[in-house]
Structure formats: structure tokens, C-alpha cells
Structure 1
Amino acid sequence: MSVYCNGHPATAADLAAALVNYGHFTSLQVRGAAVQGLDLHLRRLRQGTEELFGTALDGTRVQAWIAAALQAEGVSDASVRVTVFSRAFDFRQPLKAVPVDVLVSVAAPASMRGTPKHVRSVVYQRDLPHLKHVGTFALFQQRRQAMQDGFDDALFVDAQGRISEGSTWNVAFARGGELVWPQAPALRGTHERLLQAGWGGEPQLAPVGLDQLGGFDAAIGLNATDVWPIAGIDGYRFPGSEALSQRAAEILAAQTWIPL
């Protein structure tokens, strides 16, 4: 992995400032120097910067820095993470206006397609779930605990039993030809938006409780990395998940790739 800060190779001092752990990010897959949902990623970064730092982020500059990092690495296919933080941020004076900095990390391209996952539910909700912030410790710990118990990942539900999201992914369910997106406080993903747009018709948004899972015959997980079938949640099984995942993958593959 290579890391750039504000368009230049990151120094130790740059990375040390990021250890304050106050910031937000977006992760994206690049193929042929293009990104699906690039506008959604940039919107996420702008909104997060406004909320956490009270300042505007120049999306055009961020896009140029991503392209420059890829060019410097000599690659056109990659996994890219863009992190917004501030070397000047002081947690003792969090209201002080500070300029923001942008880290762009470039790693090998990734895909999670094809492998069905059996996940378990857990009552948990991320802090500020609408933000893709850098507080990821609990997400990875929940995944680790689920794997220790023989599952592939964790699915979060709120105190009322409503499904919200996976550890680092969104979830959707199907009954017949209808795709349903569970509604509870969660991070709304870029691929979630793209699949909703490509599926056709108005997205079916509704609360989905664990006690309603028996009414669905398929489920998928998805994030910017890919889409994959959910074989089961707790004791529920979804025999139609692989077919649903394949259909979702075809729809996502048809979405526009935006050049950097």
C-alpha cells in the first residue's frame, strides 16, 4: 500500500497526525482509472468534512489527487481509500477552525463476489451511523467475535430488533421480484444507491425486524468492493441468495464508470 497526503507522498509526520483518530473516509474500487458512483463518494466526503470540521472540501482537487496517486503508482486498477483529517486539529480545542488534509491510499484491487456468507445478528449501532468516520474498532471487533463463533460476519440490529447494516456493508432482502432495503440508522452506501437506481422503480424502503426474516427468500450484502449472497442469518436460510446476487452484480456492472 502507498499513501499520499495532499497530493504528495505521505511523511511520518503526516501519518502521525492521523493517529488522533478524528476524521472520515470513503473507500472505492478503481478499474481502468474510472470509478462507479464517483459523485456519491465525493458528496460523502464533502458532507463529512462540513459536519466534522465545519469547512468546505474541494471535490475537484480530491479527484485530481486520486488520479495523481494512481499515476504515481503506475496502476489503473486499485483499491483506494480517501481519508479526510487535519494535521492542525487539537482535541483540546475541537471548535477551532482548522484546514483539512486528505490522505489517498492505493492498494491492490479487491473483490468479495461469489462466496455466500452466513452471518449472525448482534444488537449494536455505530456512533454517528450516517458518517463513514474513522472509528472502526468496534466494527472489526464485532466481525472478529462473529467469526470466533463460527459465522462469517456480523449484522447489526437496533434495540427494537430492526436490521440496520452489516459490519462494513449494507444488506437487502428479496421476496419474489421485490427488493427491500431495511431502514434503521445506518451508513447508506454508494453501491446501495447505485443498485437502487439500476433496479428500476421506487426503492422499497421499510423497517425489517429479525422476526420478519422468514418472509424473505433471498438476501445480499454489498459495499463498494462488490456484492455477495447472504446464505443465512442466525437460524434463517435464504435459498435464492445466489441468484439474487448474480442479478445484482449484473445491474451494478452496467452502472457508469466515471473517469478520474
Structure 2
Amino acid sequence: MPPLPARLELNGHAAITGLELFPALGGYGHFTAMQVRGGRVRGLDFHLARLDAATRELFGVELSGERILAHLRHALGDDSGENDDRDGTTRDASVRINVFSPDGSAEPPAGVEPEISVLLTVRPPYEMPAGPLTLCSVPYQRPFAHIKHVGGFAQGHYIKLVERRGFDEPLLVGEGGLIAEGAITNVGFIQGDAVVWPQAPMLLGIGMQVLQRELSAADVPQHHRRVLLDDLAAFDGAFVTNSRGIATVRRIDELDIPLDAPLLAHVLDRCAQAPWDAI
């Protein structure tokens, strides 16, 4: 099968000239990124809720799930919503959905109803790197961390810096060594029979939300509390997760993290068994 060509769609239509995309290159907007497999997405409701909540907060208008689904089906070549196998339907892909103001402004002129544009980028599917991974702590927390907003220069730069040092991903850490999240993941820890999630400014990632739902269904205890770098030696394991999947962590900075906790294997299995939602 030939490689999937990259393409852009704006408001359900192919963006040909690119002129209408200039506002999307600015620093005000938000997005979600999802993996499509077999015409399905894990945590679809979480993606739709994220897009609507951020649109309301940033632009003061709603963004309906119906509009997003219509654009998504069109971008994947399936306007029917049935995800059949006819020619032109993309079954597996990475999709990024950006939301922004068509004129690039954060606030429209007085008396003007806010408008938003929805840009879809369809690319070949991505997978979570094979673990176990290594994390390097960096002194950074994302501003307005609860929003998956555009303008992630610091995260991207830290990724390059830690990769040059031989690590797989930055671990974002605040004042006093407070652990928040990975640069493009959420991080979780194993302690005995429970999963511990850091309590800090962070994005509630889609992979994290899906896994929390699956662990709750399996009656696995989950705790949210402040986790410091100095606390890491007390944990029995660690993992990172995002919409691409999940991977174990074998080292954070110079500290080796155990890989043999029984609950860690169970967490990976629960993630693998999470259902995929029809688009």
C-alpha cells in the first residue's frame, strides 16, 4: 500500500490555496490529536468534549460534536458515517483537529458574532514508541495547562534537548520538583495495588481519561496526589500514556524504575483492551 499523503481540510473542504490557513499559524487556538484504526477512535466522546469545552472558553461559542464528526468523516472519505471499505475511505490515520478564529483574533469586534474555523490534518498513523522509555525532568509547566492549545515551542524544544542527552521524553516539573506531565503524555505511577496520578496543572489527556475509565471498571484503586521528584524511589513502576497508547518507564533522570510490578502489566492490558468508538 502506498504511503498515505498528507492533506488539509478546512470546514469540511479541501484547503487549496492555503491563504485561509494563515490564522491557524498564529498563537491563539486549540486542537486535539487522535489515532484512527479501522475507522474507529478510542475516547471519541472525550475528544468531542475537549473541543467543545476549549472552544467555549477561548471563543465563547459552542462546537457541536455533530459538526466535528461531519468534518472527520469527510476528511476520512466517509460522509456516510458507516466507515465502509469503499475506495477512498481512510481506515487508519493520525488526525489533528485545530480550532481557531478565521481572522486570527481572540475576540471579535463588539456586536459581531464569534466565528470559528475547524482545520483537519490527516496523516499516516502513529504508534506509541516501544517501551520501556526514559524520561528527563525539565523545569517547565505549560501555561493554561488544562487546554490543549497551540504554540508548544517550549515542549518541542525540550524534546530535542532531552533526546540529545539520550532520553525519550521530557518530564515537565514545577516549583519544588512537582511532577505534572510528560511533554506529549500523561505520566502515572504504580504503588502497591493502586495507580497514582500526579496532582498538578496538566492536560487531562485522552489516553489518560480512557485508561482511568477502564481501571475504574476493573476496580483498580486510583489516587490523585502531589508527586515530587524526591518521591520517585517509593514507587513500584511508572508509565506514560496518550492517544497513541501506553508505554512503561524504566528510568527517570538517573533513577531506575522497576518494571516487574504485577499491577503494571494489568494496567497495560486494560489499555490494550479499551474499546474503539465508531466515527
Q: Classify the TM-score, shorter chain.
A: over 0.9
Aligned residue-pair number: 260
Structure-1 separation of matches of 2:149 and 2:203: 10
Structure-1 separation of matches of 2:170 and 2:89: 36
Structure-1 separation of matches of 2:132 and 2:37: 24
1:126 paired with 2:142, answer yes
1:35-82 deviations in Å (ceiling 9; x for gaps): 111000000000110111111112111111111111175311111111
1:105 paired with 2:121, answer yes
8 Å CA contact 2:58, 2:106 repeated in 1: no
1:64 paired with 2:70, answer yes
Q: Structure 1 residues 131, 30: CA separation in 2 closer, same or farther (over 3 Å shift)?
A: same
1:207 paired with 2:226, answer yes
Give structure 2 stretches of 5+ with no counterpart.
Answer: 1-5, 79-87
1:4 paired with 2:9, answer yes
- Root-mean-square deviation (CA, aligned residues, Å) is 2.0
Correspondence for 2:202: 186
1:75 paired with 2:90, answer yes
1:18 paired with 2:24, answer yes
Deviates most, 123-132 or 93-102: 93-102
Please point out which of 248, 257, 260 is paired with 1:238: 257
8 Å CA contact 2:132, 2:248 repeated in 1: yes
Structure-2 separation of matches of 1:227 and 1:172: 10
| Equivalent AA in structure 2 for residue 48 of structure 1 | A
8 Å CA contact 1:24, 1:83 repeated in 2: yes
Structure-2 separation of matches of 1:245 and 1:41: 26
Deviates most, 164-173 or 50-59: 50-59
TM-score, normalised relative to structure 1: 0.93
| Equivalent AA in structure 2 for residue 52 of structure 1 | L
TM-score, normalised relative to structure 2: 0.87
| Identity within the alignment, % | 38
Structure-1 separation of matches of 2:131 and 2:181: 19
Correspondence for 2:82: none
8 Å CA contact 2:28, 2:105 repeated in 1: no
Structure-1 separation of matches of 2:269 and 2:188: 16
Deviates most, 248-257 or 181-190: 248-257
8 Å CA contact 1:219, 1:241 repeated in 2: no
| Equivalent AA in structure 2 for residue 236 of structure 1 | L
8 Å CA contact 2:107, 2:114 repeated in 1: no
Secondary structure of 2:177's counterpart equals: coil
Please point out which of 201, 218, 221 is paired with 2:237: 218
Structure-1 separation of matches of 2:166 and 2:71: 41
Q: Structure 1 residues 245, 228: CA separation in 2 closer, same or farther (over 3 Å shift)?
A: farther
Correspondence for 2:55: 49
1:228 paired with 2:234, answer no
Structure-2 separation of matches of 1:91 and 1:221: 33
| Equivalent AA in structure 2 for residue 28 of structure 1 | M
Structure-1 separation of matches of 2:267 and 2:256: 19
Please point out which of 43, 48, 51 is paired with 1:37: 43
